[in-house]
Amino acid sequence: MAKELKEGLKAPAFSLPTDGGGKIRLADLKGQNVVLYFYPKDMTPGCTTEAIDFSGHGAAFKKANTVVIGVSKDSVERHDKFKAKHDLTITLASDESGAMLEKYGVWQEKKLYGKVFMGIVRSTILINAEGKIAKIWPKVRVKGHADDVLEAAKAL
Give catalytic residues, as residue numbers: 47
Q: Which helix (H) or strand (E) holds 2?
A: none
What lies within 8 Å, CB to CB, of 134 at 6+ separation is: 7, 33, 126, 127, 128, 152, 156
Distance of alpha carbon 155 from alpha carbon 80, whole angstroms: 32
Radius of gyration of the chain (CA): 14
Distance of alpha carbon 82 from alpha carbon 70, whole angstroms: 12
